[in-house]
Amino acid sequence: MNTKMTYGKPGTAISAVEVTNVSPHGLWLLLDNREVFLAYDQFPWFKEAAIGQVVHVELPAPDHLYWPELDVDLAVESVLFPDRYPLVSRVHEPDADYSAPGKAPKAQGCKSRTK
Residues of the chain with pLDDT > 70, as a percent, come to 63
Domain presence at residue 2:
no
Q: Which residues have a Cβ under 8 Å from the Cβ of 64 and sit 6 or more positions away?
A: 73, 74, 75, 76
Domain presence at residue 88:
yes
Q: What is the pLDDT of residue 62?
A: 92
Domain presence at residue 92:
yes
Domain presence at residue 6:
no
Structural domain range at position 20? 14-115
Domain presence at residue 5:
no
Could you report the per-residue pLDDT of 78-110, keeping only the tens digit for each? 999 988 888 755 555 566 565 555 544 444 444
Could you report the per-residue pLDDT of 7-23, keeping only the tens digit for each? 455 544 455 899 999 99
Q: What is the pLDDT of residue 99?
A: 57
Domain presence at residue 90:
yes
Q: Do strands 64-67 and 72-75 pair parallel, antiparallel, or not at all (unpaired)? A: antiparallel
Q: By C-alpha distance, which of 114, 115, 111 is closest to 43?
A: 111
Q: By C-alpha distance, which of 95, 58, 93, 100 is closest to 109?
A: 93
What is the number of domains present in the chain?
1
Is this structure's pTM higher than 0.85? Answer: no
Q: CATH number, domain at 74?
A: 3.30.2020.40
Give the Cβ contact number of residue 102 at 10 Å: 5
